[in-house]
C-alpha cells in the first residue's frame, strides 16, 4: 500500500492550488439553508457538487425531498447522492457531508467578505463553509481526483450523500436515509459510514470522534399590541412583549450554565469511574479552550470539567430575539411581537420528547407567574438526538492507522459538543458503524465570524481521507 499512498500524497501536493480553487468556487455560493431567499443558492451549490462529481466520473443523482415542513411554499434542496466504483470484490464506504452553511454577513464583524475565500500569509483560508462543511465535502472529491491523476485505483467503492439542510435540522433526510438503507436502496451496500463534519479539540492533534450531543431547538413567541409602539406614548400603559420575553429567557439558565428547567438534570446518565478516567489522557489544555474562545472566559478552570461540560452534560444557549431592536442608535420602540430562540444540547440518556415536555411546562409556568396580558407560545423548531458509538470497530482502527500515517501521531478518541442529527439515523438504518473523521481544528470558528480552514488541514485532510479508504480496505471484516 505504501508506494500507492506515496503517489497519491504527491498528487495531492501537486494539485493543492487547484483544490483550493475548488473550495473558492464552493465558498462563493452562499448556500445558507436558514434563509428562504438563499434557497436558490443552496440548490445551485448542490448542482455544483453534482457537476464536479460527474466530471470525476461518478454516477450522480439529485434527489428531491419535497416541500419543507411548516414552510410548504419552499422546496427542500435536493440530496446529492453519488457512487464511485461498483466492484463486488471491494468494500463499500458511505460518506456523508453537508453543502449548506450557517448565515454570514460582513456586518456581523467579519474581517473579510464571508463568501469570498481569502487566504492569508499563514495559509488560513477564511470563508463561510470553509471548515463546516465545504472543505471536508470537497476533500472526498479531491481524494478521488488525486487518485485518478496518480493512476492509483481507489481500493473501495464509494457511496456519497451530501445534503443541503444540515444547519437547519436536516429536514427530510431521516426518511430518505431509512428508505435508501433498505433492500435495493442506494445505501444498501454500505459496509461502514464516515462523516467528516467536526473539529479537532486543539490545533495540533487529530482525533477520531465517537459521540455527539443532540440538539433540541426552540422558539418562544410573545405578542401583545397590534403593531410596534412609541415608548413615550405607550410605555407604562401596556404589557410589553420584550419585557416578558427577557424574563422568560432569563429563567432558563444561570450565568454559570446551570439549566434551571425542572427535571432536566435527572435525565442525564450518571458519570461512572470508568468514564471519568478517560478525560485525563485527552490532549487538551485550558489554553486550547482560551485560544478557540479568543478569551479566558471559560466557566471552569480545569480541563476535565470543561471537556465534560462540552461532551457529556447538556447545555442551554440563548441565541437571539427576532423582532427586537438590534441596530445601532437609540430607537425608542416597543416591539409588538418578539420571538426568542434557544437550544438545548442533549446527552445520554435524555429523551428529546421528555425534554420538550419539561421545557414547555417550565415556560408556561414562568409566563403565568408574570401575570402579563400578552400571549406566549413556545414551539420546537427541530430536534436531533445524541449519539455515542463504539470506537473499537475496524472502521475506527483503519482511521487511526491513516491518522498515524498522515500526521505521525495516534489520534485522540473524542466526543463532540455539536450535533449532526443524521449520524444516529445512518447507524440505525444501515446497521453499520459510523465514524467521525474531522479535518478542521478548534480555532476554525465554525458558525462564527471569520470561519476558516487552514491550508495544512485541508491538504493533509485530503490525504487523510484517501489514506483512510486504503486502510479501511485492508482491515479484516469483524462486524
Ligand atoms: C458539528 C456540525 N458541523 C454542526 O455544525 N452541526 C450543527 C447542527 C445543527 C443543529 N441544529 C442546527 N444545526 C450544530 O451542531 O449546531
Ligand atoms: Zn455547522
Ligand atoms: Zn457541519
Do 379 and 461 belong to one domain? no
CATH of the domain at 104: 3.40.630.10
Residue 230, marked binder:
yes
Looking at residue 478, its pLDDT comes to 62
Do 428 and 410 belong to one domain? yes
Residue 167, marked binder:
yes
DSSP 3-state of 409: coil
Atom of ligand 1 nearest to the CA of 197: 3
Do 161 and 96 belong to one domain? yes
| 413 occurs within a structural domain | yes
Place of cell 471552569: 300
Count of structural domains within the chain: 2
Looking at residue 367, its pLDDT comes to 98
Do 205 and 319 belong to one domain? no
Query: Which residue, among 453, 460, 463, 471, has the nearest Cα to 26 in the 3D structure?
Result: 453
Do 93 and 219 belong to one domain? no
Give the orientation angle of helix 273-280 with respect to helix 303-311, to 10 degrees.
Answer: 120
CATH of the domain at 328: 3.30.70.360
Residue 98, marked binder:
yes
Among the three residues 343, 363, 384, which one is the final residue of a domain in this structure?
384
Looking at residue 388, its pLDDT comes to 96
Do 368 and 398 belong to one domain? no
Query: Which residue, among 473, 282, 278, has the nearest Cα to 395 in the 3D structure?
Result: 473
| 306 occurs within a structural domain | no
| 94 occurs within a structural domain | yes
For ligand 1, is residue 451 a contact (CB within 6 Å)?
A: no
H or E segment to which residue 414 belongs: strand 412-416
Among the three residues 333, 361, 384, which one is the final residue of a domain in this structure?
384
Residues 6 or more apart in contact with residue 354 via CB below 8 angstroms:
263, 267
For ligand 1, is residue 103 a contact (CB within 6 Å)?
A: no
| 79 occurs within a structural domain | yes
Do 120 and 165 belong to one domain? yes
Instruction: Please give the residue range of the domain that contains residue 225.
Output: 215-268+313-384
| 195 occurs within a structural domain | yes
As residues whose CB is below 5 A from the ion ligand 2, the structure lists 132
Among the three residues 322, 351, 384, which one is the final residue of a domain in this structure?
384
Residue 166 appears among annotated catalytic residues = yes
- CA dist., res. 22 & res. 13, Å (int): 15
Do 90 and 150 belong to one domain? yes
Do 333 and 233 belong to one domain? yes
Q: Count how many Cα atoms sit within 13 Å of the Cα of residue 225 in the half-sphere of its side chain.
A: 17
| pLDDT tens readout for residues 380-420 | 999 999 999 989 999 999 999 999 999 999 999 999 999 99
Q: What is the secondary structure of 122-191 as a DSSP string?
A: T-EEESTTIIIIIHHHHHHHHHHHHHHHHT---SSEEEEEEES-GGGT-TTHHHHHHHHHSTTSTTTT-S
Looking at residue 70, its pLDDT comes to 86
Cα-Cα end-to-end distance for the chain: 23
Atom of ligand 1 nearest to the CA of 417: 15
Question: pLDDT digit of tens for each residue in the chain (479 aa)?
Answer: 778 999 999 999 999 999 999 999 999 999 999 999 999 999 999 999 999 999 999 999 999 999 998 899 999 999 999 999 999 999 999 999 999 999 999 999 999 999 999 999 999 999 999 999 999 999 999 999 999 999 999 999 999 999 999 999 898 999 999 999 999 999 999 999 999 999 999 999 999 999 999 999 999 999 999 999 999 999 999 999 999 999 999 999 999 999 999 999 999 999 999 999 999 999 999 999 999 999 999 999 999 999 999 999 999 999 999 999 999 999 999 999 999 999 999 999 999 999 999 999 999 999 999 999 999 999 999 999 999 998 999 999 999 999 999 999 999 999 999 999 999 999 999 999 999 999 999 999 999 999 999 999 999 999 999 999 999 999 887 65
Atom of ligand 1 nearest to the CA of 217: 11
Do 116 and 227 belong to one domain? no
Looking at residue 368, its pLDDT comes to 98
Residue 41 appears among annotated catalytic residues = no
| 285 occurs within a structural domain | no
Q: Which long-range contacts (CB under 8 A, 24 or more apart) does 234-241 make?
A: 234/334, 235/334, 238/334, 239/372, 239/373, 239/374, 240/334, 240/374, 241/335, 241/336, 241/337, 241/338, 241/374
| 303 occurs within a structural domain | no
Do 243 and 200 belong to one domain? no
DSSP 3-state of 471: helix
| 171 occurs within a structural domain | yes
CB burial readout 195-231, b (16+ within 10 A) else e? bbbbbbbbbebbbbbbbbbbbbbbbbbbbbbeeebee
Do 191 and 71 belong to one domain? yes
Angle formed at CA 125 by CA 119 and CA 129, multiple of 5 degrees: 135
Query: Which residue, among 422, 423, 460, 469, has the nearest Cα to 440 in the 3D structure?
Result: 460
Catalytic annotation, pick one of 166, 171, 240, 460: 166
Amino acid at each position: 500500500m505504501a508506494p500507492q499512498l506515496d503517489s497519491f500524497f504527491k498528487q495531492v501536493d501537486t494539485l493543492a492550488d487547484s483544490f483550493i480553487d475548488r473550495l473558492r468556487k464552493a465558498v462563493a455560493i452562499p448556500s445558507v439553508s436558514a434563509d428562504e431567499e438563499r434557497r436558490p443558492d443552496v440548490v445551485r451549490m448542490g448542482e455544483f457538487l453534482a457537476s464536479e462529481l460527474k466530471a470525476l466520473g461518478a454516477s450522480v443523482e439529485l434527489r428531491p425531498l419535497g416541500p419543507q415542513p411548516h414552510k410548504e411554499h419552499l422546496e427542500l434542496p435536493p440530496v446529492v447522492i453519488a457512487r464511485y466504483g461498483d466492484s463486488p470484490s471491494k468494500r463499500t464506504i458511505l460518506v456523508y457531508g453537508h453543502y449548506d452553511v450557517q448565515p454570514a454577513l460582513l456586518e456581523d464583524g467579519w474581517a473579510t467578505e464571508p463568501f469570498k475565500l481569502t487566504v492569508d500569509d499563514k495559509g488560513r483560508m477564511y470563508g463561510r463553509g470553509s471548515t463546516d462543511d465545504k472543505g471536508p465535502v470537497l476533500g472526498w472529491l479531491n481524494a478521488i481526483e488525486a487518485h485518478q491523476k496518480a493512476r492509483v485505483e481507489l481500493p473501495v467503492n464509494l457511496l456519497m450523500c451530501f445534503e443541503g439542510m444540515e444547519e437547519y435540522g436536516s429536514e427530510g433526510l431521516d426518511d430518505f436515509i431509512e428508505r435508501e438503507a433498505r433492500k435495493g436502496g442506494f445505501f444498501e451496500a454500505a459496509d461502514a459510514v464516515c462523516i467528516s463534519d467536526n473539529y479537532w479539540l486543539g490545533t495540533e492533534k487529530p482525533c477520531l470522534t465517537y459521540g455527539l450531543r443532540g440538539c433540541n431547538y426552540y422558539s418562544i413567541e410573545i405578542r401583545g399590541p397590534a403593531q410596534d409602539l412609541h415608548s413615550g406614548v405607550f410605555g407604562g400603559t401596556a404589557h410589553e412583549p420584550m419585557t416578558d420575553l427577557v424574563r422568560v429567557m432569563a429563567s432558563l439558565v444561570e450565568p454559570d450554565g446551570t439549566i434551571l428547567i425542572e427535571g432536566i438534570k435527572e435525565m442525564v446518565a450518571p458519570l461512572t469511574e470508568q468514564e471519568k478516567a478517560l478525560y485525563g489522557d485527552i490532549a487538551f489544555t485550558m489554553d486550547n479552550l482560551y485560544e478557540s474562545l479568543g478569551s479566558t472566559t471559560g466557566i471552569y478552570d480545569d480541563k476535565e470539567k470543561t471537556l465534560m461540560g462540552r461532551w457529556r452534560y447538556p447545555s442551554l444557549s440563548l441565541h437571539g430575539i427576532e423582532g427586537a431592536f438590534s441596530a445601532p442608535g437609540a430607537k425608542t420602540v416597543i416591539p409588538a411581537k418578539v420571538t426568542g430562540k434557544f437550544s438545548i444540547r442533549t446527552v445520554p440518556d435524555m429523551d428529546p420528547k421528555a425534554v420538550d415536555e419539561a421545557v414547555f411546562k417550565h415556560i408556561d409556568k414562568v409566563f403565568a407567574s408574570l401575570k402579563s396580558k400578552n400571549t406566549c407560545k413556545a414551539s420546537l423548531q427541530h430536534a436531533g438526538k445524541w449519539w455515542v458509538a463504539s470506537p473499537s470497530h475496524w472502521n475506527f482502527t483503519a482511521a487511526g492507522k491513516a491518522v498515524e500515517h498522515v500526521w505521525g501521531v495516534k489520534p485522540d478518541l473524542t466526543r463532540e459538543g455539536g450535533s449532526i442529527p443524521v449520524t444516529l439515523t445512518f447507524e440505525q438504518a444501515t446497521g453499520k458503524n459510523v465514524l467521525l473523521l474531522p479535518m478542521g481544528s478548534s480555532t476554525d470558528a465554525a458558525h462564527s465570524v471569520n470561519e476558516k480552514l487552514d491550508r495544512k488541514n485541508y491538504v493533509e485532510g485530503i490525504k487523510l481521507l484517501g489514506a483512510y479508504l486504503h486502510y479501511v480496505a485492508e482491515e479484516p471484516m469483524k462486524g
